[in-house]
Structure 1
Amino acid sequence: MRSGRLFRDGVATFALLGILSLLASKLNNRPEPVQTGEFYVIDGDTLSANGERLRLKGIDAPEYRQPCRRDGADWACGEEARKALVTIVKTGRPECRGGERDRYGRLLVTCVVGDVDINAALVRTGMALSYGGYAAEERIARQAKLGVWAGDFERPADYRREERGKQSAAGGPMKGLIDYISQSIGWGSHGE
């Protein structure tokens, strides 16, 4: 009798685990949210739609106020990156999809307009760097000396880190704490 109960309990446990496994796989296979419509371009790798910030996945564009150097002179590469994204977004009806969020709560998305992968296009034209994706596109831009690759530039992540350091030093420890809290809840930096 005892061995029968153990067998029954074992079968019930495996059945329950099987059902939980099926449920977990169904939840993991749900379609990613898709956003279409009007987008506001914040900077070269961040959009806004319906009050939500969307971060273009796999790329890192120069910050809006970030300068670069080309032919011995400064140029506003951050502003140009934003303009490049505005131009692409205006060419059609963009569709952005993604399910993950970054540490600032922004939805990480890959966007297309027609057959054009917007994320890839920004990297391929040198207006953004590969950040975990689009390495082939970055090689193309680098070899052709397009965008930021036409001169000297600071990686956007390094630029943001320096700017945070300058702001913290200028405002003392309290300012640094406020900046840290602001960035943690998504009010701060547009990058990363």
Structure 2
Amino acid sequence: MLRIFAFLIALLATPVLAAPNGTIRVVDADTIDVGGTRVRLFGIDAPEMGQPCRADGREWDCGVWTRDAVRDAFEGAFARCQTRDTDRYGRAVAQCSVDGQDMGQLIVRSGLAWAFRRYSETYDLDEKAAAVAGRGLWAVEAELPSDFRAAQAAVDPAPTGNCAIKGNISSGGRIYHMPGQAHYGRTRINPANGERWFCSRAEAEAAGWRAARR
């Protein structure tokens, strides 16, 4: 009896992650809105917006290219999702299916994203199938998104004119730092992750950022 009671207490103490279901709006090739909930698809990593793809002497935006392909395939469809985690941007990390088919698997198998092995080997074989067939990203020259993000993060772009307020995204949410505040100097802005510079407090707050506490 005591064991059953202890189990029930542990179960009640475990946070229940919501399972979003609803109509899909594609944000990029690995991020979607499902019934109003922002979802980062589990186990896959797609090109960032502004990340270049190259082939036959041409260069284009890899993030836009893969996003549009995923949008053509899934926009407006009904998804059922199983939440696995929450990331540092507050997004649900979930596996989602459409008509019983795993979205992550279909995207990776189509060559529109890589298997995100840092977190899971779930789509490893699907990536290999895309590579063997030369589909999507495997038919062009493109770096891994993690390498692109690292390169972007290493560059802290200078503010334009008087726009010196840093809009940072962290586990605490969207926070802006004013010059002279405690963490201003060590805060880095990575536009690839949606971070940005602001020209005024009003602009930052209107965009959804809140002031740093110190």
Amino acid at match of 1:70: A
On the 8 A contact 2:40/2:94 being kept in 1, the answer is yes
Q: Does 1:24 align with 2:13?
A: no
On the 8 A contact 1:123/1:134 being kept in 2, the answer is yes
Q: Does 1:85 align with 2:74?
A: no
Partner of 2:127: 138
On the 8 A contact 1:124/1:140 being kept in 2, the answer is yes
Question: What is the aligned counterpart of 1:170 among 141, 158, 162?
Answer: 158
The structural deviation recorded for 1:49 is 3.9
Matches within 5 A, 1:148-159: 148-159=137-148
The structural deviation recorded for 1:26 is 6.6
Unmatched 5+ stretches in structure 2: 175-190, 195-214
On the 8 A contact 2:84/2:95 being kept in 1, the answer is no
> How many angstroms apart in 2 are the aligned matches of 1:72 and 1:159?
20
Amino acid at match of 2:9: L
Partner of 2:106: 121
- Report the 3-state secondary structure (helix = DSSP H, G, I; strand = E; otherwise coil) of the residue aligned with 2:153: helix
> How many angstroms apart in 1 are the aligned matches of 2:34 and 2:173?
15
**How much identity, in percent, do the aligned residues show?**
33
Q: Name the structure where strand makes up a greater proportion of residues.
A: 2
Unmatched 5+ stretches in structure 1: 1-14
> How many angstroms apart in 1 are the aligned matches of 2:80 and 2:141?
33
Question: What is the aligned counterpart of 1:59 among 44, 50, 71?
Answer: 44
> How many angstroms apart in 1 are the aligned matches of 2:173 and 2:36?
13
> How many angstroms apart in 1 are the aligned matches of 2:173 and 2:104?
22
Question: What is the aligned counterpart of 1:44 among 29, 51, 65?
Answer: 29
Q: Which has the higher contact order (CA 8 A, sep 6+)?
A: 1
**CA shift digits 1:143-183 (9 cap, x unpaired):** 111111112111111112222333x14349xx99935x324
The structural deviation recorded for 1:25 is 4.5
What's the TM-score, normalizing by structure 2? 0.68
> How many angstroms apart in 1 are the aligned matches of 2:100 and 2:4?
40
On the 8 A contact 2:22/2:35 being kept in 1, the answer is no
- Report the 3-state secondary structure (helix = DSSP H, G, I; strand = E; otherwise coil) of the residue aligned with 2:48: coil
Partner of 2:185: none
**CA shift digits 1:81-133 (9 cap, x unpaired):** 11122122237322222141012211001111102211111100110000123
Partner of 2:169: 182
What's the TM-score, normalizing by structure 1? 0.74
Amino acid at match of 1:19: F
On the 8 A contact 2:108/2:123 being kept in 1, the answer is yes
> How many angstroms apart in 1 are the aligned matches of 2:112 and 2:164?
30
The structural deviation recorded for 1:43 is 1.0
The structural deviation recorded for 1:41 is 1.4
Q: Name the structure where helix makes up a greater proportion of residues.
A: 1
Root mean square deviation of aligned Cα: 2.9
